[in-house]
A = this chain, B = another copy of it.
Amino acid sequence: MDSLAQILQRVREEARRRNVRWTNQRQVIVETFITCGEHITVEELHRRARAADPTVSSATVYRTINMLVEIGVATKRQFGPGSASFECSFIKEHHDHLVCLGCGRIIEFHQDLIEQMQEQVAREHGFRLSHHRLELFGTCAECQAQSGDVEDDAVANDNTAPGS
Interface size, chain A (Cβ < 8 Å): 65
- Complex Cα distance, B125 from A77, in Å, reads 21
Q: How many copies of this chain does the complex contain?
A: 2
- Known: A71-B153, A129-B154, A132-B134; 18 extra A-B contacts, CB below 8 A, are A72-B157, A75-B161, A87-B164, A94-B159, A94-B160, A95-B164, A101-B130, A118-B136, A121-B136, A122-B138, A126-B144, A127-B136, A129-B138, A130-B154, A131-B137, A132-B137, A133-B134, A134-B134
List the interface of chain A (C-beta within 8 A of B): 1, 71-72, 75-78, 80-81, 84, 87, 89-90, 93-98, 100-101, 107, 109, 111, 113-115, 117-122, 124-141, 144, 152-164
